[in-house]
Amino acid sequence: MSTSSSRGNPPSVEVRPDLSQHLSRQILAMIASGNLQAGDRLPSMKESAERFSVATPTIREALRRLPGTGVIDIRHGSGIYVRKAGQGLIITNPYHGALNADSAMQLVDARLAIEPYLAGKAADASTDEDIVSLERLLDDAKLLLIGQDAKLHPTNMQFHTQIARISHNSILSAFFESMVELYSREQLGILAIFNARTRDHEEHVRIFEAIRSHNASLAADRMREHLLGVRDVVEQRLLDSPV
């Protein structure tokens, strides 16, 4: 399919500003400016809420976005810790307008270029611990399928970034995690347009099953099919929308 200019100006979908997304970027900036190292503990949610003058539930929602970037770990009963120091994610997203067909398709195409490969590598390299971590994310996502999109989206992206991590290709994994953070606004727009939570979850389960069975070619194929399906639906719905 194509989104060429021969079809006229691409339609767009407005993506509303999100306070928790803004706070996520502020927290990343705090980590960078504070010269924190991997393993360092961050301020508590209450302390962070006071620092940014917001309610604790708001800061909690902002922090829930960040494990998917690979920058922090939230250890229940222990605290919030820096996972990756010196990271390069503090970049201003150059995209400031409505989400249009070209932006959406380019983002999914970028993911198509690397995620099937990462899924295949994850199937080869995954340990029992890795499988448990993916299964836990799927269990969390299943509980959020009805009416909890604010939590479902970061959980689903954690599933994808975890696959990237367990591929053991540190360069592509870091690139993918940076892309997820940099274009989080566009990801939210795609999620809103795709609007097929159950289908999305079922396809994640199929990818997981291929990784668990250590079938690299099947894992890569299922990831590719998943992203192509997202691309087709999003493109069609954008093109069918009024300009």
**What letters, b where the CB count within 10 A reaches 16 and e where it falls short, cover 48-60?**
bbeebebeeebbe
**Domain of 212?**
99-240
- The pTM for the full model equals 0.64
The pLDDT score that the predictor gives to residue 89 is 39
Cα–Cα dist 3/239, whole Å: 8
Those residues with Cβ within 8 angstroms of residue 208's Cβ, 6 or more apart along the chain or in another chain: 134, 135, 138
Single residue among 36, 52, 82 that ends a domain in this structure: 82
109, 63: one domain = no
Quick one: how many helices (H) and strands (E) in the chain? Answer: 10, 4
243, two tokens: 């300009």
The pLDDT score that the predictor gives to residue 124 is 97
Inside any domain, residue 65: yes
**What's the CA dihedral at 43, 44, 50, 53 to 10 degrees?**
90
Q: Which tens digit of pLDDT belongs to each residue from 9-49?
A: 444 444 344 566 677 777 777 776 666 777 888 888 888 88
178, 147: one domain = yes
Q: What CATH number did the domain enclosing 120 receive?
A: 1.20.120.530
The pLDDT score that the predictor gives to residue 95 is 40
Surface-to-core class of residue 188, CB atoms within 10 Å of its CB (0-12 exposed, 13-18 middle, 19+ buried): buried
58, two tokens: 């708001």
The pLDDT score that the predictor gives to residue 47 is 87
Cα–Cα dist 27/87, whole Å: 13
- pLDDT higher at 84 or 144: 144
Residue whose pair of structure tokens reads 């099947």 in the numeric block: 218
Q: What CATH number did the domain enclosing 33 receive?
A: 1.10.10.10
Segment holding 196, helix H or strand E? none
Single residue among 51, 82, 113 that ends a domain in this structure: 82
Cα–Cα dist 184/191, whole Å: 10
**Phi/psi of residue 196, nearest 5 degrees:** -135, 70
Q: Residue 202 pLDDT > 90, yes or no?
A: yes
163, 57: one domain = no
Q: Which tens digit of pLDDT belongs to each residue from 76-134?
A: 777 888 876 544 433 334 444 455 567 778 889 999 999 999 999 999 999 999 999 99
Cα–Cα dist 147/144, whole Å: 7
